[in-house]
Chains A and B, each alone.
Chain A
């Protein structure tokens, strides 16, 4: 049996915030590993540190202590520019809302990352059409985000996250603003893409639907990963 490679590894990750002069220990020493091709979810109640952990893993935020390796690279020591380039080439992001630039068309939104990567125009256009087909939005490339439904906008966000073939997709509450039917369809689609492409998906969520589909659930409470036996309590 071939051993799967680690795509995420964190070591004693800690992050504190100051809110109204009070120090909040958002992440308290997290050691986490995620393998390539996983379809996992970080779950927990609001304020438990899910988004903060995702931000630290992606290099959107810097840890106060500890280290983060992504795809074998120590990203917690990278400079702002290095991190930007690393995120561009290795990570796809899906946020819960306002993912897209409203003044750009669907095609322009999706091709933006490829533009940053310097992909030629013809290639960009070809890949946009392919990915739109994959997320079942063919023919909508010239629409503006405001002309799409919430579900369609999230599909465009998925398309944008995947178009540059990143190693991992990080999705922060991707279904939070969607009705359950649309959310369910979207999750099915992401699961299918995970199966087809082998791309790693890591969610931060408290949506039951995500937990049901996730192959691994990482439970977070008060900034720490807790045992599965404690899930019910959470």
Chain B
């Protein structure tokens, strides 16, 4: 076997130019696969970060039916018990209570319907980072209960600026009686997401509770889990089941954003498509290269068969040549793939502002290097080169010695 390996290795360098071209084609394909996979992994992290560091957080608790009906009466059951449980849960880093209600918001110039969200300013700050998105004014000043924070787009519609007065009208729970309050614009935020910038307004939760007449209730608890939790597979945690009791439902961000599952499946499909294209290239390159090599050495194969090489010996020679080309290509591909991916993993790729399935990319995407990219993909490419070598190998094995000796002289 060692002899055949030596022979295969030397044979692939008989036509250096062809070997280099074939090797580079496979290497570039492998590098592209490694890079694509790293990019998709980086995109996933970026998207998950965008979601979990936004209003969605890692997950939320609602009263069952609230998400579908958005009825003010559907506040979380046994809120105090749930809050206490969350405070003592080792998986929970922080959480924030929210109220929701449809509201009519009017300025002296215009009127608009928005989702009015009551938040605890201090707790909310560390969850959804609305404070970071403030572009004008302040994020809830202490003592000022009638402050409202609105989006840039909404401010443009209402034609209001910081300090301007706004009237908010909501329907109270149970009675559906209208409740009106006067607010002053305290801050204007910009999330670069039309839905958020136009359709939401934030007030302090205690004010909201009073307006909605829901006592100390809340419609939503946004939860941030501790570091180290696998956020891509967050759904697998038993945590959500634990809080889905007393007619409440606890859902991870993945449960709240089910379309993201599809996005991730699509990225996996993307990698598979790149992989398939690579394997098709590998197949064509190797088959072409090996057949050219066989035709060039037809007489040599005739001699080898004549002096006693069995058909399987000829087969082995070609498959090992294919494997030798595979090893060479895979080695170059690993180096190339690492260099390109490493460079981009440091400098990042700018897709900021692009919206994907309702998630706007806010930060640079950094491709993620993983061990599997440099172990599994090269092994698969190498095995494929071996497998593809079988076809020309069978051809070489079936060569009739007399015909092979006749063909090239």
Chain A interface residues toward B at CB < 8 A? 55, 58, 60-61, 80-81, 84-85, 87-89, 92-93, 95-99, 101-104, 108, 112-113, 115-117, 160-161
Report if A60-B401 is in contact (Cβ < 8 Å); known contacts: A85-B308, A87-B308.
yes
- Binary contact track B1-29/A, C-beta < 8 Å → 1, others 0: 00100010011011000000000000000
B402: interface (CB < 8 Å): yes
- Tell me what chain A mostly uses at the interface: helix, strand, loop, or mixed: helix
Closest 3 CB pairs of A and B: A88-B308, A61-B402, A103-B10
Can you give 26 A-B contacts (C-beta < 8 A)? A55-B401, A60-B400, A60-B402, A60-B405, A84-B311, A84-B313, A89-B308, A92-B307, A93-B303, A93-B307, A98-B303, A101-B7, A101-B300, A101-B304, A103-B7, A103-B10, A103-B11, A103-B13, A104-B10, A108-B3, A112-B3, A113-B307, A113-B308, A115-B3, A116-B308, A161-B307
Q: Which of B299, B305, B310, B402 has the most CB of A within 10 A?
A: B402
A81→B3 contact, CB < 8 A: no
A-contacting residues, B287-338, CB 8 Å: 299-300, 303-313
Whether A58 and B304, one on each chain, are in contact in the complex, defined by CB atoms closer than 8 angstroms, is no
Inter-chain contact A58/B3, CB cutoff 8 Å: no
Expressed in whole angstroms, the Cα–Cα distance for A101 and B309 within the complex equals 13
In Å, the complex CA distance between A71 and B408 comes to 30
Min CB gap B56→A, angstroms? 63
- Give the docked Cα–Cα distance between A46 and B305 (Å): 25
Among the listed A98, A116, A160, A161, which residue makes an inter-chain contact with B299, where contact means beta carbons less than 8 Å apart? A98
How far apart are B263's CB and chain A's nearest CB, in angstroms?
52
Q: What does the 1/0 interface line of B59-85 toward A look like (CB < 8 Å)?
A: 000000000000000000000000000
Contacts of A97 in B (CB 8 A): 409
Closest to B13 in A: A103
Query: Would A103 and B307 count as touching, CB distance under 8 A?
Result: no
> Please, which residues of chain B bring their CB within 8 A of the CB of A80?
310-311
Residues B405 and A116 in contact, CB atoms below 8 Å apart: no
Q: What residue in chain A is nearest B308 (Cβ atoms)? A: A88
Instruction: Give A92 to B308 CA distance when docked, in angstroms.
Output: 9
Given contacts A93-B306, A98-B300, A113-B307, contact A104 B7 (CB under 8 A): yes
Which residues of chain B have C-beta atoms less than 8 A from A117's C-beta? 308
Nearest CB in chain B to that of A161: its residue: B307
Please report B residues at the A interface, Cβ cutoff 8 Å: 3, 7, 10-11, 13-14, 299-300, 303-313, 400-402, 405, 408-409
Give chain A residues whose Cβ lies under 8 Å from the Cβ of B300.
Answer: 98, 101
Tell me the minimal C-beta distance from A31 to chain B in angstroms: 21
Contact of B306 among A87, A102, A104, A115 (CB under 8 A): A87
Extra contacts besides A98-B299, A98-B408 (10): CB < 8 Å = A55-B401, A55-B402, A93-B307, A97-B409, A99-B303, A101-B303, A103-B13, A108-B3, A113-B308, A161-B307
The answer to whether A112 touches B307, judged by C-beta atoms less than 8 angstroms apart, is: yes
Interchain CA distance A87-B311 in the complex, whole Å: 13
Of the candidates B7, B299, B405, the one having the most CB atoms from chain A within 10 angstroms of its own CB is: B405
A55 to B306, CA, bound (A): 9
**Chain B: CB-nearest residue to A111:** B3
CB < 8 Å neighbour of B14 from A60, A98, A102, A108: A102
Chain B contacts for A60, CB-based, 8 A: 305-306, 400-402, 405
Complex: how many Å from CA A61 to CA B402? Answer: 6
Q: Are B405 and A95 in contact (CB under 8 A)?
A: yes
Task: Assess the A85–B402 pair: CB atoms within 8 A.
Answer: no
A60, A87, A96 — most chain B CB neighbours (10 Å): A60
| Least CB distance, B406 to chain A, in whole angstroms | 8
A89 to B408, CA, bound (A): 26
Instruction: Among B308, B310, B409, find the residue whose CB has the most chain A CB atoms closer than 10 A.
Output: B308
A81 CA / B397 CA spacing, docked (Å): 11
In contact, B309 and A84 (Cβ under 8 angstroms):
yes
Rounded to whole Å, the gap between the CB of B314 and the closest CB of chain A is 10
Contacts of B7 in A (CB 8 A): 101, 103-104
Looking at the complex, which one of A55, A81, A88, A108 makes contact with B307 (CB distance below 8 Å)? A88
Beta-carbon nearest neighbor of A17 in chain B:
B406
Q: Chain B residues near A108: list those with CB within 8 A.
A: 3
Q: A81 to B311, Cβ gap below 8 A?
A: yes
Q: Which of B14, B303, B313 has the most CB of A within 10 A?
A: B303
> A residues within 8 A CB of B405?
55, 60, 95
CB distance from B204 to the nearest CB of A (A): 82
B400 / chain A contacts, CB cutoff of 8 Å: 60-61
Q: Tell me which of A58, A87, A95, A103 has the highest count of chain B C-beta atoms within 10 A of its own C-beta.
A: A103
Beta-carbon contact of B311 and A116 below 8 Å: no
CB distance from A57 to the nearest CB of B (A): 11
Q: How far is the CB of B16 from chain A (nearest CB, A)?
A: 12
User: Which A residues are in CB contact (< 8 Å) with B305?
Assistant: 60, 84
Nearest to B397 among chain A residues (CB) is: A80
Residue of A58, A84, A113 contacting most chain B CB atoms (<10 Å): A84
Rounded to whole Å, the gap between the CB of A113 and the closest CB of chain B is: 6
With a cutoff of 8 Å between Cβ atoms, the chain A residues found around residue B10 in the complex are 103-104
Interface pair A58/B306, CB less than 8 Å apart: yes
Report how far A104 CA is from B14 CA in the complex, Å: 11
A residues within 8 A CB of B401?
55, 60-61
Contacts of B402 in A (CB 8 A): 55, 60-61
Residues of chain A with a CB closer than 8 A to B311's CB: 80-81, 84
How far is it, in angstroms, between the C-alpha of A85 and the C-alpha of B7 when the chains are bound?
21
